[in-house]
Amino acid sequence: MRHVHLAVLLGCAAFATASPSTAQNDQRSTKDAKVLILGGGVAGVIAARTLHRKGITDFLIIEARDELGGRMQDYTIGVPGKQYTIELGPNWIQGTQTGNGTANPILTLARKHHVKNQYNDLDGSITTYDYNGFKDYRDLLDTSINQFTQTGVVAGERVLTQQVDLGLQSAYGITGATPKNMYEAACQYYQVDWVREYAQSPDQNSWIASAWNNNFTYYTDMGGFSDENNLCIDQRGFKTIIQAEAAEFLQPQQVSLNSVVTTIEYSGDGATVTLANGTTLTSDYVLCTLSLGVLQYGDVAFKPTLPSWKMEAIQSMVMATYTKIFLQFEQNFWFDTEMAIYADKERGRYPIWQSLDHVKFFPGSGLVFVTVTGDFSLRIEGMEDSDVQEEVMEVLRAMYPNITVPDPVAFHFKRWNADPLFRGSYSNWPPSFLPGHSENLRATVDKTLWFAGEATSLKYFGFLHGAYYEGLNAGEEVAKCVEGPVCAGRQHLNSVVDASPYPFVSITS
């Protein structure tokens, strides 16, 4: 049971930033903060804003990096005089707004802070290649778009009849759309692994959840925003949406940067968080927004160990990797469309190309990037940059057999899976992950330990707007607990035994 602490409600703002706690048996009012928010990405910052809006100021964001934004990270690429800010992490506002309908909250933040973004034509502005150069298979792409839509329609029928989930690979088989050659495979890759951003192949994806995730974001009749994607090209970086938002409410004493959490000790009475330098911080509540990959890898220790239902949920969702490889050339010699697809004998080998040296983005920049995902991302993370560059150039030279393709003047990619603060790019819902697992991923432990982030979003896992809505919701629910008198927490299933698709899953404590 929770107590209300008047000292805090009366505005006792005497919390210290990351100061060592004094005693084991602290009174509630002498804890370092009411709420410790672990992680300063979109979920953490929006949760903090929600507490702030509810008049709760006694919180502290603990962030390992030297800035807020989390996976919203940029990089300056280019030779002197031709330098550009490019996005290593999220780049698109996915689903924008239709008429006066619901706007993607990320678009709303971009509008508010004047963060420049530009419609990116991912379906219409595409050139297609294979290893002998240009080859027109655009018609196959159109077919592939329809085939993906069809898997979503049949998924909807499965949900209505409460049939169990299967892999997306099975959906392609059942609907008679399994790719039969490398061109069809490249087009399917474009749809599933890339444009829908699952960053994993169809056999690694849930059939039903991939349809939900797509519908909830892109189809207005299911509450989605629009079917458009806008590319952020702001030279301050996409992260500006969250940093400028934080600057409006966050006080310096409410955030502790360069602070790596190593241990989270929790009980029904509160929590003690230990940082890498030995500092301990106490609180009534902890909101953990660390990436699913970090939780899976065990970078942070929980004391006591998390209950088995929570561990199962954490280990059942999957962390996928999405890697953008940037190149700058003296001069543009490539396609004049926004996008290009390269079909290789090996599915997923440097398949998706995007021109930034385009009138809509950075004309004259000499910039182009290629994206790889999933297992191929892990493969190149293990290679030297120079070896990856060599492979990429081999592909580019195959795409342009009649041109002497020069070496790039700049080359860069980030290894998201190897980064101990992320351990991948974003979560993906595999066929063995069930709606009960998703509820358990969000559920509280001992009413003290809360979880939020893109991975806890049933509808929008993987997306920035998923992280946003989860931060908002956790902020609201934690605020209710802080205000008291009762803290309900989020309920969980002790074991997941029901494979019925959401929304028919019933949650009991």
Ligand X SMILES: Cc1cc2nc3c(=O)[nH]c(=O)nc-3n(C[C@H](O)[C@H](O)[C@H](O)COP(=O)(O)OP(=O)(O)OC[C@H]3O[C@@H](n4cnc5c(N)ncnc54)[C@H](O)[C@@H]3O)c2cc1C
Residues 273, 283 contacting (CB under 8 angstroms): yes
Task: State phi, psi for 305 to the nearest 5 degrees.
Answer: -60, 150
Q: Does 460 bind ligand NAG (CB under 6 A)?
A: no
Enumerate residues 6+ apart whose C-beta is below 8 A from 262.
274, 275, 276, 300, 301
Residues 68, 242 contacting (CB under 8 angstroms): yes
Instruction: Choose from ligand NAG, ligand X, none: what does 221 bind? Cβ within 5-8 Å by kind.
Output: ligand NAG
One-letter identity of residue 504: F
Contact footprint for ligand X (CB under 6 A): 38-44, 62-65, 70-72, 89-92, 94, 260-261, 289-291, 294, 299-300, 322, 416, 421-422, 425-426, 453-454, 462-464, 466-467
Enumerate residues 6+ apart whose C-beta is below 8 A from 288.
38, 39, 264, 295, 449, 450, 451, 452
> Alpha-carbon distance 190 to 261, whole Å?
38
> Alpha-carbon distance 371 to 373, whole Å?
7
- For residue 52, what are the CA distances in angstroms to 278, 340, 393? 28, 45, 50
Of 89 and 408, nearer to ligand X (C-beta) is: 89
Q: Does 153 bind ligand NAG (CB under 6 A)?
A: yes
| Least separation in angstroms between CB 72 and ligand NAG | 21
- When binding is defined by CB under 6 A, the residue of 33, 232, 250, 275 that contacts ligand NAG is 275
Of 20 and 406, nearer to ligand X (C-beta) is: 20
Part of the chain binding ligand NAG (CB under 6 A), chosen from 31-39, 167-175, 208-216, 295-303: 208-216
Its sign, for the CA torsion 209, 439, 315, 293, is positive
- For residue 24, what are the CA distances in angstroms to 15, 27, 124, 189? 17, 9, 62, 55
Q: Does 279 bind ligand NAG (CB under 6 A)?
A: yes
Q: Does 223 bind ligand NAG (CB under 6 A)?
A: no
| Least separation in angstroms between CB 258 and ligand X | 9
Instruction: Choose from ligand X, ligand NAG, none: what does 153 bind? Cβ within 5-8 Å by kind.
Output: ligand NAG
Rounded (10°) CA dihedral 249, 252, 257, 259:
-120
| Least separation in angstroms between CB 305 and ligand NAG | 25
| Least separation in angstroms between CB 506 and ligand NAG | 19
Part of the chain binding ligand NAG (CB under 6 A), chosen from 273-281, 340-348, 357-365, 407-415: 273-281
Q: Which residues here bind ligand NAG, judged by CB under 6 A?
A: 18, 99-100, 133-134, 152-153, 155-156, 159, 208, 211-212, 215, 219, 221-222, 256, 258-259, 275, 277, 279, 401-402
